[in-house]
Amino acid sequence: MSNMNSSNKKNIKKKNQKNKTEKTKCVYILISKTQTLPSQVIKMWTREPYAHTSLALDIELNEMYSFARKRLRNPFDCGFISEDITKGVFGRDVNTTCRVGRLWVTPNQYKKIIKNLDKFKKEKDFFRYNYLGIFGVVFNKAVERKYNYFCSQFVYYVLDKSGVEMFGKKPGLARPEDFRVWDELELIYEGKLNRYRKYLEDNHPKNPTTGKYIEEYGLTFAYSNANEEVAVSQ
């Protein structure tokens, strides 16, 4: 009987260790382009469809963070913020386009992401936008200073600091383009940001018990700018 108990304990321990290394948790990365002047300038310079990067903890993008303007009418007062896709610049610019990608991570990496985000929340008043870093990207020279980040640098830094294998750059050289072409991101949606939650409501399955959207590895509905389903994988 004691041998059976010992064997069961070993199996449970192995299973727990395996779960810690398997990618059973997920976060979401939103890249977007608003109608603001900085966004238009970045698009002209990079010739890329998106100019801003955000990190979300849920598929509905209810809890989402980035570095951007703190007040709607002041583009120069920027720092670490919690973003709402129905308010601020996102709420004002109804023609904002976006791409939502899902990133699968291990439970341990997910815990570290939460922990690293908590540090930003606790010290949010110290953080400033890394304007010099933007010029550094132009000349392919990372400008990284404590408490200074731009949006894609912030997202890269949090993921990299949390043990996620990134795409081989310094955080200070990360661009929205890098996340757009990153193979690790599972495309969820691409189109108008103000239609995103309606798309989820119409297309993404929910758990009938909890009412929450099902997040299952290998189950993806992707939406295109042409307002038609472009990919379904099971």
Per-residue pLDDT tens digits for 24-40:
999 999 999 986 655 55
- Alpha carbon 7 to its chain centroid, in Å, reads 41
- Tracing tokens 């990134």 back to the chain, one arrives at 166
Report the pLDDT averaged over residues 56-72: 95
- Tracing tokens 């779960």 back to the chain, one arrives at 19
Among the ranges given (3-17, 160-174, 199-213), the one the predictor scored with the smallest mean pLDDT: 3-17
Report the pLDDT averaged over residues 77-100: 94
- Tracing tokens 């020279």 back to the chain, one arrives at 141
pLDDT grade for 221, boundaries at 50, 70 and 90: low
Residue 34 has what pLDDT? 87
* E-state strands within the chain: 25-33, 52-56, 64-71, 74-83, 97-105, 128-129, 148-149, 186-192, 220-223, 229-233
Domain boundaries, the chain: 23-233
Looking at residue 99, its amino acid is: R
What's the rounded Cα separation, in Å, for the pair 57 and 163? 16
Report the pLDDT averaged over residues 88-92: 92
Regarding the domain with residue range 23-233, which homologous superfamily does it belong to in the CATH classification?
Answer: endopeptidase domain like (from Nostoc punctiforme) (3.90.1720.10)
